[in-house]
Amino acid sequence: MKILLYNPDNGVTRNFMPHLWMFLLQALTPSGHEVVLIDGNVQPMDEESIARYVREQNIGLVGIGAMTRMIAKAYRMADAVRAAGVKVVMGGPHVTEMADEALGRDGGSRHADAVALGEADETWPRIVEDAARGTLKDVYAPVDDFGQERKPSLQPYPEIPWDKIKLEQFNLLPGIVHPLLRRVGAGWGTFRIIPVESGRGCPYGCEFCTVTGFFGDSIRFRTNESVVNELLLLKERAKEEGGQIAVFFIDDNFAINVKRTKSLLRDIIAANAQVHWVAQISANLLRDEELVDLIAAAGGKWIFIGMESIDPANLADVKKGFNKPGEYGVVLDRLAQRNVFAITSFIFGMDNDPPGVAERTMKEIRTWPAGLPIFGLMTPLPGTPLYKKLEVAGRLTRPKHWQEFIPFAMAHTPLKMSIDEAHDEVRIGWASSYSPEAIEKAVDSLNHKPLGYRISIFIARLCFRGIYFPQMDRFAWLKSILENRRTIFKLLRQGFGGGLHAAVPSVAIEPVTGQRH
Ligand code: B12
Ligand code: SF4
């Protein structure tokens, strides 16, 4: 049987990284079946083209995975596939919470022939065999013979053949610049970010988060050896291709067990398996100096920190009181001293946020080392304690907000401002962090750092700008480049002043093969 795994586009940004679930399920597919992957963010498709594709390619089963914000598109694509006579199985965090919606048991129309609940590592081979036999069931739950929930242990972990997988669609560098970059320096043909997980689960249970409910509070880790081998495979591929590969450790809290993280980082260093990487770590765990030293030595370049708010009352309200705003600056300085920078994520529209929250937060951010701030709105995702709380209180204004997804729009009324005011706060956060002036300031503030750091912050800011301000086509990119010409000229002047080689960003996109640790 030929199987298509499809991830719909989010309609707002291009994807900078493939989705791990597709590669994982491909690796877990029983032999004898062929699996093709299409990520809609890089290969846009509409209903007609997916229906044509499955017919022309003789696809026997389509698997669709989606987060809540992509689910409306996922359902439309599933409908088109089913209308073409091909079975659809859906999985991922949204349908796990809303299986009845996907199966048409809630009064709406049916979109999926089958739904895989929760982690599908162990159910996927069964789904494929059932589909091949024509005995697909409605629901596949990860349970043992006694009906008890069973979470995959991650030991053993499937080997994802990164050395053979076609990754052309995920090259972040536009084709037009390849020849030029090859002349600038060896190792510049491609640049990709690859998702790698080293563990699953987070016990913290923040009110707005899907993770504790979905992956459970039982934390599971792969063996150090299996992670190290994956990194070595990626490093080897980058070398062979003359390209760049960076890794995104997608674990929700990469340092949730500090002892184990340190041991993994030490093994990465010992095996010379360092590539540049990004990971998500909560601020409280970054108090540990030794951990931060090891992060830097093991290739860590960017740490994503869910700061959420600078107001302790907000944090306590959403059960994230372990975040201590008073120590944010210290933590960020500690990282920056080791040339590791932070993606700092904030949520506006929390119940204790009055108008002016964006400016107050910005004031604080400006005292920190330049990083990448991002701003979102409090969003009640299905299945979260937040959703239930707001539903019970009758505060949901769009209880099924995902059916008509609007980016950066609230689905409930906050307590201390109106919905429109909350939308304004988010706009202010993005506009004042990503205006040409703000970008120039951020780059200038790193004048004491090597040129490569400044270039990498600049490129990253331009890319992150696109999360809020649509930047989907060449014209939008050209406009953005033009607006930021002052900073570009400054960087170029410094680059040529120090020789062209010095202009090559040495941090975010330094050749992974050029070991310097
Ligand atoms: C990496 C990641 C991202 C990446 C996404 C890009 C990418 N290429 O991966 C980035 C950083 C861009 C991102 C952004 C966002 N993310 Co995100 N992200 C994650 C994260 C940390 C890891 C995803 C992952 O790979 N997990 C590991 C794999 C193995 O798990 P999985 O994807 O769930 O797949 C398993 C099962 O779900 C199932 N499965 C999944 N799909 C399918 C399909 C089929 C057919 C089958 C059978 C099974 C199946 O099988 C897999 C193996 O067990 C998750 C949290 C988490 N730990 O999962 C959040 C998570 C998915 N993100 C979330 C959110 C909310 C967002 C944002 C909306 C945040 C924001 N406010 O801006 C944005 C929106 C992104 C967008 N582009 O639209 C939520 C989604 C909740 C929901 N109900 O939708 C999560 C769960 C985190 C959370 N705090 O709740 N994210
Ligand atoms: S620490 Fe992060 S992953 Fe864990 S529950 Fe809170 S928001 Fe979710």
- Give the tens place of pLDDT for each residue, 158-209: 999 988 887 776 666 555 555 545 555 555 557 788 999 999 999 899 999 9
Residue closest by Cα to atom 11 of ligand 1: 250
Q: Is 350 in the pocket of ligand 2 (CB under 6 A)?
A: no
Q: What's the first-to-final CA gap in the chain, in angstroms?
A: 46
- Residue 131's pLDDT band (boundaries 50, 70, 90)? very high
What is the spatial order of strands in the sheet that 191-196 belongs to? 191-196, 244-249, 277-280, 300-308, 341-348, 372-377
Q: Of all residues in the chain, what percent carry a pLDDT higher than 90?
A: 72
Atom of ligand 2 nearest to the CA of 280: 2
Pick from 104, 108, 118, 40: which is nearest to 77 by CA?
40
pLDDT of the residue at 494: 80
User: Which range is least confidently modeled, 99-108, 246-255, 470-479, 487-496?
Assistant: 470-479
Residue closest by Cα to atom 20 of ligand 1: 250
320 pLDDT higher than 60: yes
Atom of ligand 1 nearest to the CA of 64: 45
- Residue 216's pLDDT band (boundaries 50, 70, 90)? confident
Residue closest by Cα to atom 2 of ligand 2: 252
Q: How far apart are the CA of 176 and the centre of ligand 2, in A?
A: 40
Token pair in block for residue 84:
């073409």
The residue type at 80: A
509 pLDDT higher than 50: no
- Residue 506's pLDDT band (boundaries 50, 70, 90)? very low
Pocket test for ligand 1, best of 89, 115, 250 (most atoms within 8 A of CB): 250
pLDDT of the residue at 515: 26
300 pLDDT higher than 60: yes
23 pLDDT higher than 60: yes
Q: How far apart are the CA of 360 and the centre of ligand 1, in A?
A: 30
CA distance 25 to 22: 5
- Residue 101's pLDDT band (boundaries 50, 70, 90)? very high
3-state secondary structure 125-145: HHHHHHHHHCCCCCEECCECC
Pocket test for ligand 2, best of 197, 200, 202 (most atoms within 8 A of CB): 202
pLDDT of the residue at 10: 77
Neighbours of 326 (CB within 10 A): 8
CB 280 within 8 A of CB 247: no
CA distance 423 to 417: 10
CA distance 405 to 71: 9
pLDDT digits (tens, 9 = 90+) for 38-79: 999 888 899 999 999 999 999 999 999 999 999 999 999 999
Q: How far apart are the CA of 280 and the centre of ligand 2, in A?
A: 10
Mean per-residue pLDDT for 232-251? 91
In the block, which residue shows the tokens 């912050």? Answer: 457
Mean per-residue pLDDT for 102-109? 97
Atom of ligand 1 nearest to the CA of 68: 84
Q: Of all residues in the chain, what percent carry a pLDDT higher than 70?
A: 90
Pick from 128, 111, 10, 1: which is nearest to 54 by CA?
1
Q: Is 250 in the pocket of ligand 2 (CB under 6 A)?
A: no
pLDDT of the residue at 183: 52
Token pair in block for residue 377:
């709105």
CA distance 61 to 3: 5
- Residue 477's pLDDT band (boundaries 50, 70, 90)? confident
CB 374 within 8 A of CB 342: no
CB 70 within 8 A of CB 61: no
Count of residues for the chain?
A: 517
Pick from 203, 175, 206: which is nearest to 189 by CA?
175
- Residue 473's pLDDT band (boundaries 50, 70, 90)? confident
pLDDT of the residue at 240: 87
121 pLDDT higher than 60: yes
510 pLDDT higher than 50: no
433 pLDDT higher than 50: yes
- The more confidently predicted of residues 61 and 495 is 61
pLDDT of the residue at 186: 53
CA distance 67 to 60: 24
pLDDT of the residue at 499: 47
Residue closest by Cα to atom 8 of ligand 2: 209
pLDDT of the residue at 323: 96
Peptide bond into 156 cis (omega under 30): yes
Q: Tell me what the pLDDT averaged over the chain comes to.
A: 90
Mean per-residue pLDDT for 334-344? 95
